[in-house]
């Protein structure tokens, strides 16, 4: 479930249930996982959606069907009829859970009025054409006041803002600036270059070290601000936010001065250093934190212990 900050700390932070993740035996991001989160009283739930070939939207994180389903090929190249009979795979085992679709998720949301927001993370694995995005807006419009659309695709978010100015949107600059870690990364996913400051960044500013790291972060934040729709919420990797703050640039304060909210993702409560990172970012004024286990994180944030 999700708790507000005044339930767990003196700062105002919201904890978001990541990818409708509800326990080890339910495929994350599935309709069953979403239903469990809704039944548990989660106030904000994040779930991934992929546009497919016929204009529908599947509840999938990865477009390579062999990764998390018993299918094969790319989801973005399939039609709904080709996906409906596929099942999610969990821990290498086929489950009885069929792939879900966006309108089914919205129907579930409608039945649980206490959930404040369903965050739809729109994955740009196929051309997000004007027609696709208009169809998307039409699909979510009945529940638009309880839906937020987030994406790494700033171009799609700008189009959605034009089609529906009142739609709540969020931008993740992951394709433009990211940390270097051990996580597997698709070869075709930008940024392709590790720049002079040790970050993934294809911008010319990262070609060489022209000044302190903090000034580099400030310049990159200003450039990214131009790309994002005005007034959108920002979803930034927690480690990247801390790196900027440690370098002398408080990206959270910078965005707050533009009127934007900031979410830090994704905190793993099973790692003590991640819990300490969450506490640090709460102290720095972050507005939201995305995690798989919001109730546990809320308890840790309420405690005075440092791990």
pLDDT of amino acid 119: 97
Residue 304 has pLDDT above 60, yes or no: no
The predicted model gives 68-85 an average pLDDT of: 96
pLDDT of amino acid 176: 98
Alpha helix positions (H), 48-129:
65-68, 80-83, 102-110
Between 19-23, 84-88, 252-256, the lowest mean confidence (pLDDT) is in 19-23
pLDDT of amino acid 12: 62
Q: What are phi and psi of 93, to 5 degrees?
A: -115, 135
Distance (Å) of CA 140 to CA 76, 168, 183, 186: 20, 12, 33, 30
Task: Indicate the pTM of the whole model.
Answer: 0.93
CA dihedral for 211, 215, 217, 218, sign (positive or negative): negative
Q: Output the six-digit token pair for 290.
A: 């995305």
The predicted model gives 254-278 an average pLDDT of: 97
Could you give the 3-state DSSP secondary structure of residue 49? strand
The predicted model gives 142-158 an average pLDDT of: 97
Residue for token pair 């599947």? 58
Residue 91 has pLDDT above 70, yes or no: yes
The predicted model gives 246-253 an average pLDDT of: 98
Residues in a beta bridge with 89: 94
Residue 2 has pLDDT above 60, yes or no: no
Residue 240 has pLDDT above 80, yes or no: yes
Q: Go through the domains of the chain in sequence order and give each one's CATH number.
A: 12-171 (3.20.20.190), 176-300 (no CATH)
CB 45 within 8 A of CB 119: yes
The predicted model gives 45-70 an average pLDDT of: 95
What residues contact 293, with CB distance under 8 A and at least 6 apart?
269
What residues contact 90, with CB distance under 8 A and at least 6 apart?
25, 26, 27
The predicted model gives 114-141 an average pLDDT of: 93
User: What is residue 59's DSSP assignment?
Assistant: -
Terminal CA-CA length for the chain: 23
Displacement of CA 150 from its chain's centroid (Å): 6
């Amino acid at each position: 479930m999700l708790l507000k900050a005044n339930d767990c700390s003196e700062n105002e932070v919201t904890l978001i249930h990541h990818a409708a993740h509800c326990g080890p035996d339910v495929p994350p991001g599935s309709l069953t996982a979403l239903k469990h989160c809704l039944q548990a009283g989660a106030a904000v739930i994040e779930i991934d959606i992929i546009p497919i070939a016929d204009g529908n939207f599947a509840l999938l994180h990865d477009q390579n069907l062999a990764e998390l389903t018993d299918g094969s090929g790319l989801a973005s190249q399939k039609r709904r009829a080709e996906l409906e009979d596929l099942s999610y795979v969990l821990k290498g085992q086929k489950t009885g859970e069929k792939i879900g679709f966006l309108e089914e998720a919205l129907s579930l949301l409608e039945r649980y009025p206490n959930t404040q927001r369903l965050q739809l993370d729109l994955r740009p694995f196929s051309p997000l054409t004007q027609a696709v995005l208009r169809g998307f807006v039409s699909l979510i419009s009945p529940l638009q006041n309880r839906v937020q659309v987030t994406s790494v695709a700033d171009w799609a978010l700008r189009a959605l803002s034009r089609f529906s100015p009142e739609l709540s949107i969020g931008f993740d600059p992951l394709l433009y600036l990211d940390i270097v870690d051990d996580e597997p990364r698709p070869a075709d996913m930008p940024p392709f270059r590790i720049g002079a400051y040790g970050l993934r960044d294809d911008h010319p500013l990262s070609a060489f070290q022209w000044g302190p790291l903090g000034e580099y972060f400030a310049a990159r934040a200003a450039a990214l601000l131009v790309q994002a729709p005005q007034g959108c919420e920002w979803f930034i990797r927690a480690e990247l936010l801390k790196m900027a703050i440690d370098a002398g640039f408080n990206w959270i304060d910078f965005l707050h001065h533009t009127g934007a909210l900031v979410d830090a993702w994704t905190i793993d409560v099973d790692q003590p250093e991640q819990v300490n990172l969450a506490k640090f970012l709460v102290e720095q004024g972050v507005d939201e934190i995305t995690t798989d286990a919001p109730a546990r994180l809320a308890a840790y944030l309420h405690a005075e212990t440092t791990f």
